[in-house]
Amino acid sequence: MAGAYDDRDGKIWMDGKLVEWRDAKVHILTHALHYASSVFEGERCYNGKIFKGHEHSLRLRRSAELLDMEVPYTAEELDIAKDAVLKANGWDNAYVRALAWRGSGEDMGVAAKRNPVRVAVAAWEWGNYYGDAKMKGAKLDIAKWRRPDPATIPSEAKAAGLYMICTMSKHAAEAKGCSDAMMFDYRGYVAEATGANIFFVKDGEVHTPKPDCFLNGITRQTVIQMLKDMQIKVHERHILPEELEGFEQCWLTGTAAEVTPVGQIGTYAFEVGDLTRRVATEYERLVRS
């Protein structure tokens, strides 16, 4: 697929039915467009099956609850909608985007209890999120924006508003020739990349930031379990910036990123080592099994 995302052939599921791609529209006074009252999920379909699709459906509903919204479809109904989109478009391998948002209605201020919560599912064919970084390792900038204190916003929700600083950070990174940016949290600890969790290797053991102010990704949890099954020790803890110099390997995890090696973060260099390659290979095997 190529071209603008609003001008393509295909089907998108909106509010209970499949519609033509170009007809999947919302009004300019949609509450979510003005106040970021929306949550979403990113999922990948491999060989006709969405990896952990039901877990993503459950998380979409949970994210909405945290933002004081009620998704008008069960997780099982969302699963059916996602499968319908894939079937309607004839895709066995695709990226799936489920979205719930406050639509237009009687309210157009901060409060929007009288506005309906709308739901859509779209999908498209999408290759490697970081291009050829899977072979040589992604290059990351260090963002100036930080993950906020969870007392300011429900950080365990996959909420659209939380990605504003991610977009700004990724734009700044790309302007420097980088693929992405690593972010610190409000305390100064290593947090994650703009849309992916991060892992480090030192002396054969794995270290990853404790997800107490950012999303504990489904791919992150999957990879941690994989590592434990491999009998590799995993330390989930707060990581200080000065520790970056001592790590030997690094990779990112996420539905879009899958498992992507990192070759550089700022001035710190990492090898695309055996463990990184093994995790990437095992993850690829798992999602296609």
Q: Which residues pair with 122 in a beta bridge?
A: 97
User: Would strands 138-142 and 268-269 be described as parallel, antiparallel, or unpaired?
Assistant: unpaired
DSSP 3-state assignment of 24?
coil
Q: For residues 287 and 52, is the Cβ–Cβ distance under 8 A?
A: no
Q: How many angstroms separate the CA atoms of 80 and 54, rounded? A: 10
Distance, CA of 258 to CA of 255 (rounded, Å) = 5
Distance separating alpha carbons of residues 164 and 238, to the nearest angstrom: 24
> Per the structure block, which two tokens stand in for 199?
């892992």
Spot the catalytic one: 11, 52, 82, 158: 158
158 catalytically annotated: yes
Distance CA 164, CA 151 (A): 18
Residues whose CB is less than 8 angstroms from the CB of residue 23 and which lie 6 or more positions away in sequence, other chains included: none
- b/e burial code for range 76-115 (CB count within 10 A of at least 16 → b): eebbebbbebbeebebeebbbbbbbbbbbbeeeeeebeeb
What does each C-alpha distance from 77 to 21, 51, 64, 149, 220 come to in angstroms? 21, 17, 16, 34, 26
Identity (one letter) of the amino acid at 78? L
Q: Which residues are tagged catalytic?
A: 158
